[in-house]
Amino acid sequence: MSTQVAPASATASGPSAGVKTVGVVGGGTMGNGIAQTFATAGFEVELVDVSPTFVERALATIGKNLDRVAKKQEWPADRAPSILQRIKGGVSLEAAAGCQLVVEAVSEDFALKRQVFETLDRVTAPGVILASNTSSISITEIAAITKRPDQVIGMHFMNPVPVMQLVEIIRGLATSDATYGLTEDLTRRLGKTPVEVNDYPGFVSNRILMPMINEAAYCLMEGVAGREAIDTVMKLGMNHPMGPLALADLIGLDTCLSIMEVLHEGLGDSKYRPCPLLRKMVRAGYLGRKSGRGFYECSRA
């Protein structure tokens, strides 16, 4: 998918008008997509990852994606390079000190997120909003790590970020109306559609999506049908653009397993028990596109 929604200008007069520079922590699939989206909308972006190699890889990916969009949409020759120039890469969270909002997009690991938010809470100015792109971990729990729980919120972007219009905006228990209002306004400036969601395991998107993927894995494990048949039923019978097993490969089987574990633990219902096949594949390193093999064999992302 390479079609990109044309975002609004970074110039604005709403609650988020003061946001000019945004920090993005994590340069993986979601992080580089978020950075690209903000930069395309005219924001300056500080993209932080743990090593120069990861930062360079993220910037190279963004460059390739921008070139692809430029060709498809026939952009002027200087537009893609000018967008890329708005993104500065670094390996220290100190780079976020001058940002007006920071989006964390690291792996779905609470211990790692704790480290990131403890540091961001220390290095950023008191009024800066700290957002998480977590797909399942409690915003309330993340907020409690900081001394500004009222200024912590979830911004759950969908993959691929430059294309997908939805952003789930998740309120933690302490999230203030002012924080929500600014985040909602900022999301609209990106050309996205914000949807307000309260802080429950999996929020809305993954509470519905992941059990479907998990059940598809059960169907495969129990021999109900083959992988292509399962995906074809959902595409042709339910009008889904992609079958659940192919979608799991795109998301990452490790991410799917992590979210199912959060749902199972957080909601305490056996219907959220992760499929043993899914767990076995993750243990084998079959993670989907990121590893080159999942439910399908595919080119490594």
Active site residues: 135, 156, 168, 206
Q: How far is CA 163 from CA 34, 99, 167, 193, 225, in A?
A: 11, 25, 11, 12, 32
Tokens describing residue 62: 């963004």
Distance CA 129, CA 182 (A): 9
Instruction: Please report which helix (H) or strand (E) contains residue 49, including its range.
Output: none
Distance CA 254, CA 264 (A): 15
The number of beta carbons lying within 10 Å of the beta carbon of residue 97 is 16
Distance CA 23, CA 104 (A): 8
Considering only CA atoms, which of 87, 89, 10 is closest in space to residue 42? Answer: 10
Terminal-residue alpha carbon distance, the chain: 14
E strands, the chain, in order: 21-25, 44-48, 87-90, 101-104, 129-132, 152-157, 166-171, 193-198
Q: Exposed/middle/buried for 276, CB within 10 Å: 0-12, 13-18, 19+?
A: exposed
Which residue is it, tokens 């290095």?
Answer: 123
Considering only CA atoms, which of 225, 277, 285 is closest in space to residue 252? Answer: 285
List phi, psi (to 5°) of 222: -85, 0
Tokens describing residue 81: 């390079």
